[in-house]
Structure 1
Amino acid sequence: MRVAFDVAQTCTQKAGCGYYADSLAQALAETADIERLILLHHFGSWINFETAAGTAIESERVSAPFKGLSHEAGRDAWKAIQQGTREFPESPQIVHSCSYRAPRTPGIPLVFTVHDVCFWTHPEFTTEANRIECQTGLLDALKHATGFIFVSKHARDEFEKVTGGWLAHTGRPWTVIHSAPRRFPETNHSPANIPERYWLAVGSVEPRKNYEAILDAHEIYCRAVDQPAPLLIAGSRGWLSDDIHRRIAALPDTQVRYLGFVSDEDLGYLYRHSLGCLFPSWYEGFGLPVIEAMANGCPVICSDRASIPEVAGDAALYIDPADPRSISDAMAQIHSRPDLYSNLRQKGLNRSQAFTWAKTAQKTAAFYQTVVRAYRDIRRSDD
């Protein structure tokens, strides 16, 4: 099968959607059922000014016809494709959107990945610009997409709730295919000035990640135990985060240190040597740091809501994200009980084996076949 695949979000500093696109593209390129993988570094209305940092795969089966195109050329190409006045590059049999864009793809079925619907269910955690962008993309998908991939059962259930059972009503093909942990380079080289013992929080600094509770919990923990470990925060600066950054800046860096965006190599090291990963998020469509921490032998303390229990299973310590003391209590347990640390570490490693990009790619390739058949049936019925 010839697949045109959206990697537009990999051209900028990556977050969840960009990591998903990059990892899945790499895995699809190694999947036998994919005859041709056509990477699209501009996609629909997501037109980049630079594409050099975007996903790159060295393979005879992989091409990147839009890589290197200027912003203006990418915009004009997509305008012509949607109008039907320009052929889609390399005649794909299916197009896969990863970035909440659902452009018209005349004559070719479109698969749309739904990462979450937080912009509808919890608008207080997003900006107006983000809400408009994601809502527009999802509403376009209801018009243009033939099939839908959800990264968790929770994401699918939330989608049906906010759309009034649209999938059940329309009969459009859909599937739940979990994401998986990234493959981090193995290294024993420590990032600069990293302490021997520390707690780790991973994710963009934004309201739904609940960094206020993390900081509150760490303060309680520091008062409750002997020789408390500092907190390291690895994640880019997100929206609506000025207050939390001011709070971090007022704390001594021997207690809390904000690392910002870190490389894959450094993040892998941070997971592998951490006392535990703190993830009291209010809402997730999947929860990538949970399974990444587990895959790297890092115990996890996480929320008991949204998609997170679906990912973590019985391999984490669950807390109430509204109660910082429940987080600090879990931290104190791991701090003082080496047996609990070892047990959670092993449980996490075992749990993570169920989540691999090879499995995700194989299931995705199989779903492409389902969508192509459904698209043919839809066109026949329209005729």
Structure 2
Amino acid sequence: MQSVSNLGLALDSDERVFVRDKVHIVLGDALDWYDQWPSPTVIISDGPYGIAGFPGDPPTPDVLAEWYEPHIVAWSKAATPVTTLWFWNSEHGWANVHGVLQKYGWSFVNCHIWNKGISHIAGNSNTKTLRKYPVVTEVCVQYVRRAEFRVGHRVMTMQEWLRYEWERSGLPLSKANEAAGVKNAATRKYLTKDHLWYCPPPDVFERLVAYANQYGDPNGRPYFSLDGKRPLTAKEWANMRPKFYCEPGVTNVWDEPSVRGPERIKVPDRINKALHANQKPLKLTERIIRASSDPGDVVWAPFGGLCTEAIASHKLGRVHYSAEINPRYFKIAIERLKTYDRS
């Protein structure tokens, strides 16, 4: 690949893809690239907000549902039960897209508030005209693809399937406690029908499976199987749920100033002019990647912008794919990745 260090040069056709280690940045619409990317463990969406903030950003959040739908369809096709989606937007923008995400099988987990602090407005909000309090927040909303289990024409949740398989074995529910090696947690948590349900850890699931297949009705074996030939393993069960690691002291409110100082990318030759109106802090990007993936996992950023997600993925040892449709942003994102030193 030829160098693109001269930001004034036009891109050649062979410069549509830049790779450093296992981090990839491509030029173009993500819709043209999704089929070429491996299945993601993490998707970070930081696309249009419906505020006419850049060419292609709709002027109003009211049309965001239609705008995002083809992307959401592609995400749903590529995702697995391990996948976590982090959806950045304004509160209004997210509210308009939420229904489409649900339509295509994404389950809401949590809404995280990025509080940029009072310095974000610095007294520049005309409340007499706008007639509302100044806005210093955005949201980063966490969604997952919950596992589905098909039994005949019925589609079951993980909770429903666990109980169904145990009951199918003909064993009393109380025997699940013996199988799991607990006093009452199996019936009270793992096999309950109510909202107090807990997913059994892989080692407990493995014990339940072994017990049911040893002592359950021989005519129904194998139990807890997806193919009717063998039961699921502990490892396969673990891959039925998205990863999540909570750092101590972190809540759903993220107090972090807007990007400034050396981290802020400026317009060349205009020191005080930010290149991108809504550059995300590297600190927050690293946080959500660490929270929902392990080293070696795949991270997608369909709307790369200045590709902070690519920098964070490289630093954290993830495999990464960003798409950016703006050639100027694309070239500068490449320069960021080329010159970034993760040591």
Band of TM-score, shorter chain: under 0.3
Greater C-alpha Rg:
2
Select the structure that is richer in strand.
2
Q: Which protein has greater RCO, CA pairs closer than 8 Å, 6+ apart?
A: 2
Q: Calculate the TM-score normalised by the size of structure 1.
A: 0.25
Select the structure that is richer in helix.
1
